[in-house]
Structure 1
Amino acid sequence: MVATILVGMLCAHLLCFSAMFLLISQRLQGNKMGMHYFATGNLLLGLAYVLQLAEGGPAWSAMSVVNHTLALASPIAYWLGAMRFFGQEVPLWRPVVVFSLAYAGAQVLVQWSMGAVARYAMLAAMSSTMFFVMAWTVVYGVRTFARDLRWEMFFFALLITGIGVLNAIKFVRLATGGLDMLRMDHTFQMVFYIYMSSLATLLPPAIIWLVLRRLTDELRGMAARDPLTGLLNRRGLAQALEAHFNTRDAAPAYLLLLDVDHFKRINDSHGHQAGDAVLCQVAEVLRRAVRRGDLTGRVGGEEFAAVCLDTDRAGAMQVAERLRAGMESRSMEIPGARAPLRCTATIGISAPFTGTASLDDAMRQADAALYRGKDAGRNRIEASARQAGVPAPDGGP
């Protein structure tokens, strides 16, 4: 009686959270983060336990075949949902249907050739294997695609490993004790259903927490980035610099400000759409010119910034020259234009600074140097007045 109540509660949890996941997926426009896949997984597993209650015990019937098939198809749906959560575009129904048909055929073959015990043992063995592989994938993800979710992934791996262990024990007990150990009042079955009911209570809120965290991270990222170019905005630069200076014994940083020469002429002659295309290509030049670990941002209309971290004055000047030369040699493809545009840029470099509090001062220094470069003829690099005696690099105007 107690086991029947536990399975009934498990069914209710699974089906209710399936509906909740589906409702959440409908509210997530665009990237649904796999929530509709998780809804399908819960639905399949919930229906499998409904059929188990309807069966009343081990039996050979079409209902039993469907029950076992749904029970194993649900981890496939969960696995695919996790892949969608981490950005992999994978289909849902084709893998689930192909697997379900193959496993239904395998059940018929095993029942006919080896008997009922072998068919139930096959379910336990397949379940155990699937969940162990899933747990290994989660642990692997901590070092690769889920580095930002370290503790959450370890939590999921622990719970999934528990399912694998229980199914492995069930396989051994079936092989040694037969179908008798599957009785609803058997102690092992009671432990199994208690654990599964606990998972049905813990895992869905944990999945919702992951979705909320991912949405929060995306909103934070959107607030820190320029929507046109994808570069950091001024706020994003300040946050990234704060993280840099707070987490290491950092060397002084140098701020480079780049302004596209005669950008107003481009807008006036070709329109704002062409101007936006130029800005996106300037952002690409900027990304290619800086070193790994440097920061890049757009801080004004046609004004861009690069922060050279852990370098010296010569290193910052080399980055500036790569950037100036990259702009000078770049052919800007503009929609509707008969020929590519050629643009140049003037770059101002600040004195070295060692903290986020000095960022505004570095901005003023680089801005002053930038406008000296504009007055001196454009398409050149100008260092801050505090960097006395620093000439422009060879090749610069």
Structure 2
Amino acid sequence: MAATLVVGMLCVHLLCFGAMFLLISARLQGKKLGMEVFAVGNFLLGSAYVLQQLGGPPGWDALSVANHTLTLCAPVVYSIGALRFFGRPTPLWRPLITLALAYTAAQVAVQWVLGTAARYALLSGLSALLFLAMAAAVVQGARTFARDLHGEMCLFAVLIGGLCALNAAKFAIILQGGLPALDMGSRFQTVFYLYMSFLATVLAPSIIWLVLRRLTDELRAMAARDPLTQLLNRRGLLEGLEAHFRSRTAGPAHLLIADIDHFKHINDTYGHQVGDAVLCHVADVLKGLIRQGDLASRVGGEEFVLVCLDTDTAGALRLAERARTAIERSNAIVPLGTRPQAPIRCTVTIGLSEGFASAQELDHAMHEADAALYRGKTAGRNRIEQAGSHRVPAAASDSEPSPAPTSPAVP
């Protein structure tokens, strides 16, 4: 009687949270984070328990077959929802229908050959294997693509592992005792469904928590990045420096300001759409040059900031020269007039600060680099200037940026 009451409450819980997941997915108009799939999983499992309540004692009938099919399909649907949550688009309905048809056919075959107890054992055994695979995938995810959710993933692995153990125990009990072992008044069935109820109570709010955390993380990331180039903005740059200098082993940093030469001429001559394309091109070049852990930022207009972490002045100068040379030798492919695309070549002038050892020194470092940049602009552009010194390496002569409308090749 206690197990039957728990199953009834579990049905209501699953169906109500399924409706809630569906409402949340409707509000997430673009990126649904798998919520609509989690809703389907809840509806499947809730419907399976409704059929169990309607079907009576274990036996062979259409309700029992449908109950088993829905029960096995539900964790597969939850797995697909998890994949979508982590940004891995995965089809739902075709594999779900294929699985449902295949398992229904398998039930008929097992029932025909081995009997009703074997069909119930089949469900428990396959469920145990499925939950074992899910727990292993969650543990692997905590080490790789979901490291930012390490604590939550470990909790899920433990809970899913409990499901695996209970289904494995049910499989052994059915093999040993047959259908009488599935009596709803037995101690094992009471423990089994109490755990299922506990799991449903914990997992549903946990899924909502993960969605809220992912949305707030994305909002925080958007607030820290330039919307055009996806480089860090000033706020993101400061947060990155603070995170670096919190480490006791953090070395000094050097700051570079790179300013696109004659950018106003590009905008005035070709329009702001071309100017935006040039900014994105320079941003892509810089992102491809910096080391892992270094910071790249657009702080406004045509100015870009690179922060070299754990390096000396010579290393920062080498990066600055690589950046200047790479931009000078590359072309920004942009829309130009009635022609579909045309290359534009541009150059940058770079100012380099002295080394600094705390995030609070960011403003001073930017002032140093900006003063060096101004000297470079005055001296002729397309060069590197170091704070507190004269021009570093001589560069190509100053020239206006030029399109090459006759060919998309390098002019």
SS in 2 for 1:341: strand
Structure 1: runs of 5+ lacking an equivalent: none
The match for 1:259 is 259
Q: Can you list the C-alpha shifts for 1:156-190, whole angstroms capped at 9, x where unaligned? A: 00100001100000000000000001111011000
Match of 1:310 in 2: 310
Equivalent residue, structure 1, for 2:377: 374
Give 3-state SS (helix, strand or coil) of 1:347's partner: strand
User: CA contact under 8 A between 2:349 and 2:377: conserved in structure 1?
Assistant: yes
Q: Which residue of 1 aligns with 2:98?
A: 98
Q: Matched residue of 2:297: which SS? A: strand
User: Which residue number corresponds to residue 4 of structure 1?
Assistant: 4
Matches of 2:33 and 2:247 in 1, distance apart? 31
- TM-score for the superposition, normalised by structure 2: 0.94
SS in 1 for 2:385: strand
Cα deviation for residue 393 of structure 1 reads 3.8
Corresponding residue of 1:219: 219
Aligned to 2:28: 28
1:92-121 deviation per Cα after TM superposition (whole angstroms, max 9, x unaligned): 111111101000000000000010011000
User: Structure 1 residues 346, 394: CA separation in 2 closer, same or farther (over 3 Å shift)?
Assistant: closer
The whole-number CA distance in structure 2 between the counterparts of 1:313 and 1:20 is: 57
Shift of 1:360: 0.2
> How far has the Cα of 1:301 moved from its partner?
0.7
Write the mapping of 1:37-76 to structure 2, written as runs, cut at 5 A.
37-76=37-76
The within-5 A match list for 1:169-318 is 169-318=169-318
- Taking the aligned partners of 2:355 and 2:156, their CA distance within structure 1 comes to 45
1:354 maps to 2:357: yes
4+ aligned runs moved over 4 Å, structure 1: 394-397
Aligned to 1:107: 107
Q: Which residue of 2 aligns with 1:363?
A: 366
The alpha carbon displacement at 1:248 in A equals: 3.6
- 1:14–1:200 Cα contact (<8 Å) kept: yes
The one-letter amino acid paired with 2:109 is: L
Structure 1, residues 53-90: CA drift from partner, whole Å, max 9, x if none?
00111111111111000000000100000000111010
For structure 2, which runs of at least 5 residues remain unmatched after alignment?
Answer: 398-411
Alignment equivalent of 1:342, drawn from 327, 341, 345: 345
- Tell me, in whole angstroms, the C-alpha distance in 2 between the residues paired with 1:136 and 1:250: 36
Any conservation in 1 of the 2:117–2:174 contact (CA below 8 Å)? yes
C-alpha separation in 2, matches of 1:292 and 1:204: 37
Q: Is 1:73–1:99's contact at 8 Å kept on the other side of the alignment?
A: yes
How many angstroms apart in 2 are the aligned matches of 1:396 and 1:383?
Answer: 17
Q: How many residues align?
A: 394
SS at match of 1:335: strand
One-letter code aligned to 1:204: A
Determine the structure 1 residue equivalent to 2:409.
none
Letter in 1 for 2:166: L
Aligned counterparts of 2:328 and 2:183: Cα–Cα separation in 1: 79
**1:239-265 residue CA offsets vs partner (Å, 9 max, x unmatched):** 000000002421110000010001011
Q: Which amino acid aligns with 1:379?
A: N
User: Secondary structure of the residue that 2:354 maps to in structure 1?
Assistant: coil
For 1:8-19, list aligned pairs within 5 A.
Answer: 8-19=8-19
Are 2:382 and 2:395, in contact at CA under 8 Å, matched by a contact in 1?
Answer: no
Deviations 1:25-65 (A, max 9, x none): 11112111100110000100000000000011111111111
Separation (CA, whole Å) in 2 of partners of 1:37 and 1:5? 27
Q: Deviations over 1:249-289 (max 9, x none)?
A: 21110000010001011111111111111110010011112
Q: CA deviation at 1:91?
A: 0.8
In the TM superposition, what whole-angstrom CA distance separates every residue of 1:210-230 from its partner, at most 9, and x where no partner exists? 111111110100000000000
How far off is 1:394 after superposition?
A: 6.8
Residue of structure 1 equivalent to 2:168? 168
Whether the 8 Å contact between 2:256 and 2:369 is mirrored in structure 1 is yes
Residue 141 of structure 1 aligns to a residue in which SS? helix
In structure 2, C-alpha distance between the alignment counterparts of 1:349 and 1:366, rounded to whole Å = 5
CA distance in 2, matches of 1:186, 1:254: 70
Paired residue secondary structure (2:334)? coil
Pairing of 1:116-195 with structure 2 (within 5 A)? 116-195=116-195
C-alpha distance in 2, partners of 1:228/1:248?
A: 34
In 1, the alpha carbon distance for the partners of 2:73 and 2:159 equals: 19
Partner of 1:384: 387
Deviation of the 1:336 alpha carbon: 2.6
